[in-house]
Amino acid sequence: MTDLPYDRENYCYRHADRQSFILCQRCGRTICTECQTQASVGVHCPECVKLARQSAPKRRPAAVRAQRAWRSDSGRPALSYLIIAICVLVYGVQFIGGDAITQQLLYYPPFTLIRPWTVVTSMFAHGSPIHLLFNMYSLYVLGSILEPALGRARFAALYFISGLGGTVAVILLSPTHAVLGASGAIFGLLAALFVIQRRLGGNTTQLIIVIALNLAMGFFLPGISWQAHLGGLVTGGAIAFILLRTREPRQSRTQALMIAAVAALLVVIGVARLFV
């Protein structure tokens, strides 16, 4: 065994009797195990940790409240799960009741004034198990990302107004075709995720490919309403743009009014087209 010669630099600067060979990553002074705070690289001494905390930017209480308001209480996409459960339940009723039930739920533009509830019920009804499975899986994936980030109220507005946008697009572009399914709303979520990721500097290449492929399917495969997809896509992108431009707490009222204005505009366009 070899004795090391005494060197003051090999002792903790806060505890002169404790030998150590660990240096603070920031100031370079020797610190013992009690004085070490693990950092992303190496360790820091107590004084450097305190200095870092003091120099860290302070967030105003309003900003903290705003961030919390944009998130669900539990972080779980509870509303997405609820919509999935309702869609599965509705399809079960369709399966048992047959065509008669489905006819009451689907949306057919010429019957809008006679059966206005179908604007909403058509978002929960589906034409086949594959149709249901594909839409619900998409909702699960997108809802798990967007609902905790936006908060339930904003997510609900995004989802249902996107679905309304899909319905209005059907009125404008394909007024003699009946439609059902959550696809318009799903495309609204896709567009919103694209706009948000793009604005925050995320990689959107994969999203562009997914959106392009799904849109293309509507043009080449029978029984798919590309009109509803396109309407949901445009509407969801518009809602996401509003959300991004009105993120400050003082803009919450403006945000709500602008989102309501989009919904009102869609209703006006749809109703006007029915009478033209």
| 224: its two tokens | 């798919």
| DSSP-assigned letters across all residues of the chain | --PPPP-GGGB-SS-TT-B---B-TTT--B--GGG-EE-SSSEE-HHHHHHHHHHSPPPPHHHHHHHHHTS-SSSS-HHHHHHHHHHHHHHHHHHHHTHHHHHHHSB-GGGTTT-TTHHHHTTT--SSHHHHHHHHHHHHHHHHHHHHHH-HHHHHHHHHHHHHHHHHHHHHH-TT--B-SSHHHHHHHHHHHHHHHHHTT---HHHHHHHHHHHHHHHHSTT--HHHHHHHHHHHHHHHHHHHHT-SGGGHHHHHHHHHHHHHHHHHHHHHHHT-
Active site residue 183: yes
Q: How far apart are CA 34 and CA 11, in angstroms?
A: 13
| 155: its two tokens | 């997510």
Catalytic one of 80, 183, 225, 252:
183
What is the distance of C-alpha 112 from the center of its chain?
Answer: 30
Q: Which residues are catalytic?
A: 183, 229
